[in-house]
Amino acid sequence: MIYLYNTLSRKKEIFEPSQDNIVRMYSCGPTVYSYAHIGNLRAYIFMDTLRRVLKYNGYKINGVMNITDVGHLTSDGDTGEDKMEKASKRENKSPYEIAEYYTEWFLKDAKKLNIELPEKLCKATDHIQDMIEFVQRLIDNGMAYEVDGNVYFDVQKLKSYGRLSGINLDDLKAGARIAVNEQKKSPYDFALWIKAPENHIMKWQSPWGVGYPGWHIECSTMSRKYLGDTFDIHTGGVDHIPVHHENELAQTEGYSGKLQARFWMHVEFLQVDGGKMSKSLGNCYRIEELEEKGYSALDYRYFCLNGHYRKKLNFTFDALNASKIARSRLNALLLSHKNGKETCDNQKLAEYKKQFVDAINDDLNIPYALGVLWTMLKDMPCSKDVFDLALEMDKIFGLSFDSLKEEVAEQKPQEDIPQEVKELAEKRAEAKKQKDFALADELRNQIDKLGYLIIDGRQGFEIKKK
Ligand code: AMP
Ligand code: ZN
């Protein structure tokens, strides 16, 4: 039995698909105006883990994910510039080129992270006509209104508006939380279709003039098109709860009178050094940057698996170092079981398996499941049976236990390290001990320039060639 936390009911519920053995699932995908940062990628590692748990339980998945290539403004609401247009000006390329370039990067990152993508990826710009029809029906149903080429959803027409995030429209004071737009009847009304300014590149003819769709409408339209009026699970980040998902839910209900999705699941944010990720702080790291510093995408995946998806996770390079070291120890342990000749107690293995399955089915308690793996590997005699069970567990972890050999062999022995580098590393460790972090950083830079990396762990440091 699988338990999943449903944001809509605010509790863990037993999950079963509503029809046959197939889970119909929609995941809000990337806005392809820039590279995905490690925070974004945490959201897709979560989506992937959920898919893996469902599959492990014998379900098939019909998954859909959108690629947002129009209509996502620089605020999540209705103000600011379209992110695609902004990127197009910044890079002097057409928004379509921008979308293609960053989509490709997203797919590359996902592959490196062993993220299995949903069965169908769909671009917003391929569904403009579907969106226009959706909006027209909302107008026909009396749920939306047009003002000077803009079409807005009329939240006051939908009694249930606000139920995902707990907004109560009766408490509403105009302007209290959202800036008032004079065209809107209520400040919570949101744009379905936006009139295009003269110089706007992405624009289409519609019954309301030339314009482009709002961000939320693409997800209601495409999820309905491919998964039907009501599907099983909708996923996204916690930032989607108050605006994007609240509005998706409202649109679909306004269209069909039905609940868009039975389960709504949201992944908490990744923080960096205890704070927000932001361009101005220069901490919106990408996988490529982690790789340049000597880490692999799977070190980052391992790091993410150590935090429950409903808890904030704090990224630091020290924590990533610790993950890297832990993963190489894990791989060494796995290898010793792979080559092990001892026999092991099947009863005990069955117990480990039960603990593992109970953890993953308890709202994706992956950190606990990882703990079970570690205990099993450490406590059991070296046996191929243990390795086989670890391989089965890896269907959830996605850490490539099946290609261990290559990774372990790739690691260079410590003896290759030049004396000069070793001395600098010792000096750096001493500086850290004395809390002279400026000197420690300077020494790390010198080591870096010589082509080596320092990886700190609980038991000291390790030196690696880059
Ligand atoms: P975007 O490409 O901006 O539409 O975001 C893609 C996904 O990343 C969404 O599901 C967001 O909720 C999620 N996201 C953005 N920032 C973070 C973060 N710091 N931690 C976790 N997820 C995030
Ligand atoms: Zn969406």
Q: Where are the domains of the chain?
A: 17-267, 271-409, 419-465
- The pLDDT of 67-91, averaged and rounded, is 86
Asked whether 397 and 389 are in contact (CB, 8 A), the reply is no
Tell whether ligand 1 has an atom less than 6 A from the beta carbon of residue 239. Answer: yes
What ligand has the least distance to the C-alpha of 30? 1
d(CA 293, CA 316): 13
Q: How far apart are CA 310 and CA 73, in angstroms?
A: 27
Q: Is the CB of 34 under 6 A from ligand 1?
A: no
Distance CA 387, CA 375 (A): 13
Report the separation in Å between the CA atom of 31 and the middle of ligand 2, taken as the mean of its atom positions. 10
Query: Which value, to the nearest 10 degrees, does the dihedral of the CA atoms of residues 227, 229, 232, 238 take?
Result: 100
Which ligand is located closest to the Cα atom of residue 249?
2
The reply to whether ligand 1 has any atom less than 6 angstroms from the CB of 42 is yes
Q: Show Cβ contacts of residue 167 under 8 Å, excluding neighbours closer than 6 positions.
A: 161, 188, 242, 246
Residue 314 is given by DSSP the state E
Across-strand partners of 6? 11
CATH class of the domain whose range is 17-267: alpha beta
Eight-state DSSP code of residue 186? S
CA dihedral sign of residues 110, 115, 116, 118: negative
**How far is the centre of ligand 2, averaged over its atoms, from the C-alpha of 311 (Å)?**
21
Tokens of 406: 């290559």
Ligand 1 pocket, residue 277 CB under 6 Å: yes
Look-up of token digits 């302007």: 175
307 lines ligand 1 (CB under 6 A): no
E strand map for 133-276: 144-147, 150-153, 190-195, 211-213, 231-237, 261-267, 270-272
pLDDT in tens, 109-141: 999 999 999 999 999 999 999 999 999 999 999
Q: What is the pLDDT of residues 147-167, one digit of tens each?
A: 999 999 999 999 999 999 998
With a cut of 50, say whether residue 313 has pLDDT above it. yes
Q: What is the spatial distance between Cα 219 and Cα 64, in angstroms, rounded to a whole number?
A: 10
How many residues does this entry show for the chain? 466
Sign of CA dihedral 406, 315, 241, 185: negative
- For ligand 1, the distance from its centroid to the CA atom of residue 315, given in whole angstroms, is 15
The pLDDT value recorded for residue 409 is 44
For every residue of 348-381, DSSP letters joined together read HHHHHHHHHHHHHTBT--HHHHHHHHHHHHHHS-
Name which of 287, 243, 259, 324 is nearest 111 in CA terms: 287
429 CA to centre of ligand 2 in angstroms: 47
Q: Which pLDDT value is given to residue 412?
A: 45
Task: Give the Cα separation of 291 and 320 in Å (integer).
Answer: 12
Helix boundaries (H) for 182-284? 215-227, 246-256
For residue 223, the ligand closest to its alpha carbon is: 2
> Counting beta carbons within 10 angstroms of the beta carbon of residue 466, is it exposed (0 to 12), middle (13 to 18) or buried (19 or more)?
exposed
CB 55 within 8 A of CB 22: no
Ligand 1 atom showing the smallest separation from residue 31 Cα: 2
Classify residue 238 by burial, with Cβ atoms within 10 Å: 0-12, 13-18, 19+.
middle
Query: Do 105 and 289 form a contact (C-beta atoms < 8 A)?
Result: no
The answer, yes or no, to whether residue 239 has pLDDT greater than 70, is yes
Top pLDDT among 338 and 437 is at 338
C-beta of residue 312 within 8 angstroms of C-beta of residue 273: no
User: Rounded to whole angstroms, how far apart are CA atoms 387 and 398?
Assistant: 15
pLDDT for 84: 87
The mean per-residue pLDDT over the stretch 213-231 comes to 97
Segment 38-54 mean pLDDT: 98
Separation of 144 CA from ligand 2 center, angstroms? 19
According to DSSP, residue 418 is labeled -
Tell me the C-alpha distance between 276 and 272, whole Å: 6
Over residues 364-419, the pLDDT tens digits come to 999 999 999 999 999 999 999 999 999 999 999 999 999 986 444 444 445 578 88
Each residue of 162-211: pLDDT tens digit?
A: 999 998 887 765 445 555 688 999 888 999 999 999 889 999 999 999 99
pLDDT of amino acid 410: 47
Residue 101's CB is within 10 A of a number of other CB atoms, namely 16
For 215, phi then psi, to 5°, come to: -70, -45
3-state secondary structure of 53: helix
Predicted pLDDT of residue 77: 73
The closest of 233, 288, 221 to 49, measured between CA atoms, is 233
